[in-house]
């Protein structure tokens, strides 16, 4: 048990000490247009509904 706690502590400390990635977009335009977002919103809702509500996984 102590060895497990030791390894978990090492992993946890390593994750905490790792610098967070910074993302800088090189383009001034948004990655996805609002029109495309609206088109995908319905599709994503359909998939989520089938997966979570109807249990079609």
Tens digit of each residue's pLDDT (9 = 90 or more) over 2-57: 888 999 999 999 888 888 777 777 888 888 888 888 888 888 888 888 888 887 76
The number of domains in the chain is 1
Do residues 56 and 50 make contact, with C-beta atoms less than 8 angstroms apart?
yes
0.95 surpassed by pTM:
no
Q: What are the φ and ψ backbone dihedral angles of 48, each rounded to 5 degrees?
A: -65, -40
DSSP 30: -
Boundaries of domain holding 47? 32-57
pLDDT of residue 7: 92
pLDDT of residue 57: 60
- Planar angle of CA 43, 48, 50, nearest 5 degrees: 95
pLDDT of residue 8: 92
Q: Which two tokens stand for residue 49?
A: 């509904």
Q: Is residue 23 part of a domain?
A: no
CB atoms within 10 A of CB 17: 7
């Amino acid at each position: 048990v102590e060895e497990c706690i030791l390894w978990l502590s090492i992993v946890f400390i390593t994750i905490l000490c790792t610098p967070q990635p910074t993302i800088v977009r090189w383009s001034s335009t948004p990655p996805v247009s609002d029109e495309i977002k609206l088109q995908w919103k319905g599709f994503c809702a359909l998939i989520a509904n089938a997966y979570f509500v109807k249990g079609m996984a």
